[in-house]
Amino acid sequence: MDNTKTSDPGVISKEALAYLKNKNLKPTFSYEDVWKEQHNKAFTVAKCMDLDLLADIKESLEEVIEKGITYKEWSKDITEKMVNKGWWGKKEMLDPKTGEIIEAQLGSSKRLKTIFQVNTRQAYQNGVWERGFNSVTHPYILYRIGPSLRHRKEHLAWDGLLLPKEHEFWKTHYPSNGYNCKCRTRFVSKSRKEKYEKEGIPDLTSTENGYPTKTIKIKTNPPREQYVTYKNKRTGETYRGIKGIDPGFEYNQGSSNQNQNKIKDLYIEKSKNFDSKILGDTEPTKESLKTPVDNGIGKIPKRYKEAAKTALNAIKKVHGDGNLPQIDIKSSSSRNAAGAYSYYPALDKADCIKLSSWGQHPELTLVHEIGHFLDHQAIGNSKGHSSANRDFEPLNKMIDKLKETEAVQSIKASRTLSNSYYLDPSELTARSYAQYIATKTKDPILLEQLHDVQTKNSDYKYSQWTEEEFKPIIKLWDNILEEMKWLKKKES
């Protein structure tokens, strides 16, 4: 089974989509004909001089961003269009600038991946910039390497660099910084910066079973740059470039738009293609607000106060609960699990939720563990993981549907994931619950963390579902919560 997902942008904001839609078509012979910031306004594919085909490529990438289409699906459709229009393989072409006839490489599988990766990643990072730059509560930017097997040494030197968003560094180093570059950025609040300074951040080059095993200190001073001389062969222009950034990539694709519009929030409409019919109506009623889930949460360690606030506020937007027992959140130093729901089997009694200091996604992990808590203590007809007992029909239907997904089939075929753990009904319930809450609320932090899991360069990405696969699961979760009389709806 081929589940290749080449940097699938996942769920992307309206700003990312607008960035691509607002570009004008510009047929060019060479990638050097459109340079640096010109890419913010021009959509081009080198050697594609056919305006109709160029429009087809642009529209297909807009659909990728809007609907979350995978690389596999996109490449199949666009290859057929390219072949039908004769834009495939090697062909002789006239260079309009020099008058020379050269053998040019047109469409190919390698070129398709480049077209897909560059355009979707640049659009995604533009959306991140627009939201973050206009957020008064996030004055800093953190540079992080992406899920690649090998990294440029310069990009490794920038990993963990945390600077004010107005810093000159971001004018030239804002990702993507080259072909196949998967680096990304995160806008950071003052309190999160202080936490990182005190505790460090996960070392993304050292992982085990998808989790970092070490931490690194953040950097607050950019390393000294090395420069190289580049020459644009099309214009004859010689300029000094930055080592580690591919020629033409040393520009910030979002900065040209930062003063055009006030952006409320990057991820408020990240799931734009999930229309109201799929997502449902989640404005709370007065009655459902009486028993929020956080009534069941007791003490919270100081280090997790902010993460807990994000997670619990998101849950409250979707549903209330029944009469939950109260449990505490505790900190752990486990390197094997980002979180855990603990209970006493003999008493069938809830104990606590643990969050590991090594975990990368505390907010999403907490929602996941609350999913276990609800499954064990409240969902269904009796206490004790209803998902495992299979004693609650709406939950049974949801689990059965999950087992049909490609993600679950990929876990079964995986040699690196523990099948018995990742296929356990209670684990499927908790993972789908976390994705349900993130998608339903469109919370920026939860969606960012979900996207990080979905695009990992390992089988761990199958622990969550693609946007398309998850659509029917949303309705099934709605049914579960409606049956429990928990789902929040508008007052009629």
Rounded to 5°, the CA angle 183-189-190 comes to 125
pLDDT value of position 233:
79
Asked whether residue 268 carries a pLDDT value surpassing 90, the answer given is: no
Q: Phi first, then psi: what are they for 346, rounded to 5°?
A: -65, -35
Q: What is the pLDDT of the chain when averaged over all its residues?
A: 82
Helix (H, G, I), strand (E, B) or coil at 330: strand
Asked whether residue 40 carries a pLDDT value surpassing 80, the answer given is: no
Q: Phi first, then psi: what are they for 168, rounded to 5°?
A: -60, -25
pLDDT value of position 170:
92
- Give residue 16's identity as a one-letter amino acid code: A
Entry field: residues in the chain: 492
* Angle at which helices 51-67 and 109-133 cross, to 10°: 60
Most confident of 122-126, 127-131, 340-344: 340-344
pLDDT value of position 99:
83
Give the pLDDT confidence of 177-216 residue by residue, as tens digits. 988 888 999 999 998 999 999 999 989 888 776 677 889 9
pLDDT band at 98 (very low <50, low <70, confident <90, very high): confident
Closest to 488 in 3D by CA, of 274, 278, 288:
288
pLDDT band at 275 (very low <50, low <70, confident <90, very high): very low
Give the pLDDT confidence of 284-293 residue by residue, as tens digits. 455 555 578 8
Asked whether residue 429 carries a pLDDT value surpassing 80, the answer given is: yes
Helix (H, G, I), strand (E, B) or coil at 364: helix
pLDDT value of position 158:
96
Query: Distance (Å, rounded) from C-alpha 8 to C-alpha 411?
Result: 19
pLDDT band at 52 (very low <50, low <70, confident <90, very high): confident
- 136's CB contacts (< 8 A; 6+ apart) are none
Give the pLDDT confidence of 462-484 residue by residue, as tens digits. 999 998 899 999 999 999 998 88
Helix, strand, coil percentages in the chain from 3-state DSSP, rounded to 5: 45, 15, 40
- Beta pairing partners, 353: 329, 341
Asked whether residue 257 carries a pLDDT value surpassing 60, the answer given is: no
Query: Distance (Å, rounded) from C-alpha 253 to C-alpha 251?
Result: 6
Give the pLDDT confidence of 293-313 residue by residue, as tens digits. 888 899 999 989 989 999 999
With contact defined as beta carbons under 8 Å apart, do 414 and 210 qualify?
no
Side by side, the strands of the sheet bearing 140-144 are 162-164, 140-144, 184-188
Residue of higher predicted confidence among 327 and 271: 327
Instruction: Tell me the DSSP string of 404-456.
Output: TSHHHHHHHH-SSS-HHHHT-HHHHHHHHHHHHHHHHHT-HHHHHHHHHHHT-
Asked whether residue 105 carries a pLDDT value surpassing 70, the answer given is: yes
